[in-house]
Amino acid sequence: MHSPIRVVIADDHGLFRQGLKMMLQLEDVEVVGEVATMGELPATLTTTAPDMLLLDLQMERSALPEIATLAKRTSILVVTANEGAEEALVALRRGVRGIVFKRFAIETLMEAIRAVADGHIWMPPELQSAVTADWREPSAMRLTEREREVVRHVALGLRNAEVAQRLGVSEVTIKTHLSSVFQKLGLRDRVELTLYAIRAGIADVERRQS
């Protein structure tokens, strides 16, 4: 029997936190902490060491700048009322592994939690479409098989050193492959590369289809 997924909830709306807790108690998820302010969050993460943080981006309007630091400690799943693509893309660039819209949380939250826990990126289909709508999608056929393999691992959120270890090559080799990939595809960063990999069928994204 596998261990439950341990989460911390960070949201400044007490009723919403309680609703999440009640829902998660029915699933294979253990809520090990909850906070209402960003100031409480670092200590809570340190003392509870959760598998995942459910974070409201609008909390005190200050959560977004903290994401890059928080993402080094635990997987972050954003639960937000803001359905704009721009803020979501910034969050993904800072290390968020999933985004759930609050109005669909009852239907999609557990799917998102399980997907992120399994190492996937999760986002609603409409958000994925929005953040990629203006891109000119290049052909995956332009990549070599090894480049595709590197891209697939990067899309899972692995760092260069981790990709190198899995593929049995040096970190310098991975950096060389990525440099070639970015140049071939005309992409700017790892988030754009991840979204490209999803669209091109190189990597899977867990998302609700209905």
Mean pLDDT value of segment 6-14: 93
What CA–CA distance (Å, rounded) separates 175 from 161?
Answer: 9
Give domain status of residue 111, yes or no.
yes
Specify the higher pLDDT residue, 154 or 84.
Answer: 154
Assess whether pLDDT exceeds 80 at residue 72: no
Burial state string for 30-64 with b = 16 or more CB within 10 A and e = fewer than 16: ebbbbbbebeebeebbeebebbbbbbbbbbeeebb
- Domain housing 187: 140-199
For residue 165, the model assigns a pLDDT of 93
Residue 77 has a CB neighbour count (10 Å cut-off) of 22
What is the structure's pLDDT at 84? 78
| 153-200 confidence digits (pLDDT tens) | 988 888 899 999 999 999 999 999 999 998 888 887 887 788 788 777
Higher pLDDT, 73 or 164: 164
* Domain end call among 98, 132, 166: 132
Say if residue 82 is in the same domain as residue 171. Answer: no
Shared-domain flag, residues 22 and 87: yes
In a domain, 204, yes or no: no
Domain-embedded: residue 30: yes
* Per-residue pLDDT at 205: 57
Pick the last residue of a domain from 132, 161, 185: 132
The pLDDT assigned to 51 comes to 94
- pLDDT tens by residue, 96-146: 889 999 888 888 999 999 988 888 888 887 777 666 555 545 555 688 889
What is the mean predicted confidence (pLDDT) over 52-75? 81
Mean pLDDT of the chain: 83
In what order do the strands lie in the sheet containing 52-55?
A: 29-35, 5-10, 52-55, 75-80, 98-101
pTM for this prediction: 0.69
CATH number of 182's domain: 1.10.10.10
What's the confidence (pLDDT) of residue 70?
82
Q: Are residues 104 and 174 in the same domain?
A: no
* Residues making up the chain, counted from first to last: 210
Stretch 74-99: mean pLDDT:
84
Q: Comparing 209 with 151, which gets the higher pLDDT?
A: 151
